[in-house]
Structure 1
Amino acid sequence: MAEEIKVIVFTLGTEEYGVEVDSVKTIERLVPITRVPKTFDFVKGVINLRGVVVPVIDLRGRFGLPEAAHTEHTRIIIVNVADMEVGFIVDTANDVIDLNTDLIESPPEVVGGVKAKYLRGVAKISNERLLIMLNLPEVLNKSEIIQLEEIGE
């Protein structure tokens, strides 16, 4: 029997992505980010979130998408990955939907320029609407998580 999951929908450019609500701690407006030297290009730095230092990643940079100017709609989605909080900069995050897991199909090799290893699958929500589901553990591999943990300490 199909299971329903709650998914937060966010955008990068014209593509819609989803991440399970269970993985999301909070969604924040863009705040000043403190740059950290000698990190991956897509690691924008750290923020102080209610007394906790949280590394912040630009998902556009992570996926090799072109950079875009931040707007009043830009958000930082704080997620838990491998028992660590990480912030993802996204263009918008404004929707929570219930998604039937039967709708999630295996991802093709590349979707919207994003490699399949970062994707859990693609959900067809309607004839015009596809939702690209992220595979959070792959978005950050183990060596990157170790480096981010060192930043947070």
Structure 2
Amino acid sequence: MHQVLHDSLQYIEIGCGTERFAIPLPAIREIIRMQEITELNGCERPCVKGVINLRGKIVPVFSMAERLALHEQPCSKSTRIVLVHYTEETVGVLVDRVHRVLQIGEIQPPPSRTGSGAAVLTGVGQTETGLVSIIDMEKLLHDGSVKGGGNVDV
């Protein structure tokens, strides 16, 4: 029997390819339209797309699709950069689209046999339009193999 967690947090529902994910609202600083990303020469991780200049501050940006081993879609009018707080820094997460703010009442733990992508999930929630995977931003962003601006592990 699965343990059901009751949660009153609000989330932002995002999309990568055909997958739906939710990021806890308190983790999000802002959501911006796609802008030019400057590539970092010598970056060993393909999910790190580069950096952007956000009002004079250099912010590392990575592709959520590549980080989760999903097929990355070409950028479109709906592509967004979700700016999140991580270890005292701001990091940009490139997503295909941002859907809406939602509240998920019951969250079940992620299935244990779903591959490496499940390692970054805190659970799966039911919404009126179907299931949504809830991302643990700490696990998604922490890797330690590449340093972004400041102490950011992206």
TM-score, normalising length from structure 2?
Answer: 0.86
- Structure 2, unpaired ranges of 5+: none
Which residue pairs with 2:149 in the alignment?
149
Q: Report 1:96-107 matches (<5 A).
A: 96-100=101-105, 103-107=106-110
Which residue pairs with 2:122 in the alignment?
120
- Structure 1, unpaired ranges of 5+: none
Matching of residue 33 in structure 1 with residue 34 in structure 2: no
Q: Report 1:54-133 matches (<5 A).
A: 54-100=59-105, 103-109=106-112, 115-126=117-128, 129-133=130-134
Q: C-alpha displacement at 1:59, in angstroms?
A: 0.6
Give every structure 1 segment of 4 or more consecutive aligned residues whose post-TM-superposition deviation is greater than 2 Å. 149-152
Q: C-alpha displacement at 1:105, in angstroms?
A: 0.8
* Kept after mapping to 2: 8 A contact 1:55/1:151: no
SS in 2 for 1:86: strand
* Kept after mapping to 2: 8 A contact 1:46/1:55: yes
Identity %: 29
For 2:52, which of 19, 43, 47 is the aligned residue?
47
Which residue pairs with 1:13 in the alignment?
17
Letter in 2 for 1:78: L
Q: Higher helix proportion, which one?
A: 1
TM-score, normalising length from structure 1?
Answer: 0.87
Looking at structure 2, the residues matched to 149 and 93 of structure 1 have their Cα atoms a distance apart, in angstroms, of 25
* Kept after mapping to 1: 8 A contact 2:62/2:93: yes
